[in-house]
């Protein structure tokens, strides 16, 4: 209902501008303005109707995935016959329960997550996003709701299976998911690595490794743990504690929940729940997600 009312408001404002001789460029910007701010210029929380609408890929296990039924607490995906589950869904349910909201999950591709929350298509993104400085210029983040170190994954019988540091990966072919710090920031740090085209999704990244298209991939620890659970022939390369490791800042390993810039009401409501949880709580929930993830995710 809130999206329908927003559309009517936007249409009304567009017609008013057109009647006054406003340019087409001005008219095109009006719907976004009407969605993001009230009469006093403040950003609305988006949950005035009691529904928290969140977006995720539903294809990024163990953070999120799709399945055919509601087993293990999965929730319906909007405009789909499938259900969403995973760490992100578990966390969203916890947040909604604490605030008395209903949960609505929207499935979209990775590149649409930030634009969608910026324009108010959905209220928040809970999708394993790193809290990078670049993203924080575009959206506000609640959290972190997980701390994810960066690792590599290779095949157990690979020549790189015994790598003790990044320098041991020199010469290998590799990839990671598109528009992630893994691909944009981490892989370039491996001197001599042959970086291939970025994978469109996390499953595509894993399939590139499984089929031998690349020698290793770069990802975060939860994704790697989910990968070795689904593919026993894979091995995690964790160089933590070594000087020959990825150089990343805190924002790269902190995973947050993004909301529209200025939406302090929703951010604070989410943070009030996350602040009651510890890193051990996060890890226990992630372990549960990994244990129930479908093997084909």
Assign 294 a pLDDT band (cuts: 50, 70, 90): confident
Q: In what order do the strands lie in the sheet with 234-237?
A: 194-195, 173-175, 216-220, 150-155, 234-237
pLDDT at residue 17 greater than cutoff 50:
no
SS3 130: strand
- Cα separation, 201 vs 229, in Å, equals 18
Class of domain 49-147+254-292: alpha beta
pLDDT at residue 37 greater than cutoff 80:
no
* Phi, psi angles (nearest 5°) of residue 247: -100, 110
Q: What is the mean pLDDT of the chain?
A: 88
Decide which of 2 and 90 is more confident: 90
What pLDDT shows up at residue 296? 57
Going by the DSSP 8-state scheme, the letter that residue 199 receives in this structure is B
Assign 2 a pLDDT band (cuts: 50, 70, 90): very low
pLDDT digits over 268-287, tens only?
999 999 999 999 999 999 99
Q: In the Cβ-directed half-sphere of 249, how many Cα atoms lie within 13 Å?
A: 6
Partners of 262 in the β-ladder: none
Burial of residue 157, with CB atoms counted within 10 A of its CB: 0-12 exposed, 13-18 middle, 19 or more buried:
exposed
- Hey, do 49-147+254-292 and 150-239 end up sharing a CATH topology, with the first three levels equal? yes
Q: What is the mean pLDDT of residues 197-216?
A: 97
Pairing between strand 124-130 and 51-56? parallel
pLDDT at residue 22 greater than cutoff 50:
no
pLDDT digits over 147-164, tens only?
999 999 999 999 999 999
pLDDT digits over 44-55, tens only?
999 999 999 999
Partners of 51 in the β-ladder: 102
Q: Is there a contact between 125 and 48 (Cβ–Cβ < 8 Å)?
A: no
What pLDDT shows up at residue 116? 98
Q: Is the peptide bond before 144 cis (omega within 30 degrees of 0)?
A: yes
Q: Is there a contact between 55 and 116 (Cβ–Cβ < 8 Å)?
A: yes
pLDDT at residue 23 greater than cutoff 60:
no
pLDDT at residue 67 greater than cutoff 70:
yes
pLDDT digits over 216-266, tens only?
999 999 999 999 999 999 999 999 989 999 999 998 899 999 999 999 999
- Cα separation, 66 vs 141, in Å, equals 25
SS3 99: helix
pLDDT at residue 206 greater than cutoff 50:
yes
Fold of 150-239: D-Maltodextrin-Binding Protein; domain 2 (3.40.190)
Q: What is the mean pLDDT of residues 28-36?
A: 37
Going by the DSSP 8-state scheme, the letter that residue 182 receives in this structure is I
H or E stretch including 146? strand 140-147
For the chain, the structural domain boundaries read 49-147+254-292, 150-239
What pLDDT shows up at residue 41? 59
- Cα separation, 276 vs 94, in Å, equals 11
Q: What is the mean pLDDT of residues 133-148?
A: 96
């Amino acid at each position: 209902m809130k999206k329908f009312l927003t559309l009517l408001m936007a249409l009304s404002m567009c017609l008013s501008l057109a009647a006054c001789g406003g340019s087409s460029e001005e008219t095109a910007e009006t719907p976004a303005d009407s969605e993001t701010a009230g009469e006093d210029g403040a950003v609305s929380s988006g949950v005035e109707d009691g529904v928290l609408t969140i977006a995720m890929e539903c294809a990024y296990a163990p953070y999120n995935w799709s399945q055919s039924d509601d087993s293990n607490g999965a929730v319906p995906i909007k405009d789909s016959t499938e259900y969403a589950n995973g760490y992100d869904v578990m966390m969203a349910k916890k947040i909604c329960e604490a605030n008395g909201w209903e949960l609505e999950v929207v499935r979209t591709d990775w590149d649409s997550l930030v634009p969608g929350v910026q324009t108010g298509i959905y209220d928040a993104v809970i999708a394993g996003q790193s809290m990078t400085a670049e993203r924080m210029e575009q959206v506000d983040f609640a959290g972190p709701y997980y701390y994810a170190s960066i690792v590599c994954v290779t095949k157990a019988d690979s020549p790189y299976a015994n790598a003790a540091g990044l320098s041991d990966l020199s010469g290998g072919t590799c990839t990671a998911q598109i528009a992630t710090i893994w691909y944009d920031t981490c892989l370039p740090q491996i001197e001599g690595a042959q970086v291939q085209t970025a994978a469109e999704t996390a499953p595509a990244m894993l399939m590139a490794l499984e089929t031998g298209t690349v020698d290793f991939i770069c990802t975060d620890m939860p994704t790697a743990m989910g990968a070795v659970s689904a593919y026993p022939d894979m091995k995690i390369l964790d160089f933590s504690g070594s000087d020959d490791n990825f150089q990343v800042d805190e924002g790269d390993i902190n995973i947050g929940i993004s909301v529209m810039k200025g939406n302090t009401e929703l951010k604070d409501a989410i943070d009030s729940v996350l602040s009651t949880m510890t890193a051990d709580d996060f890890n226990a929930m992630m372990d549960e997600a990994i244990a129930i993830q479908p093997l084909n995710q």
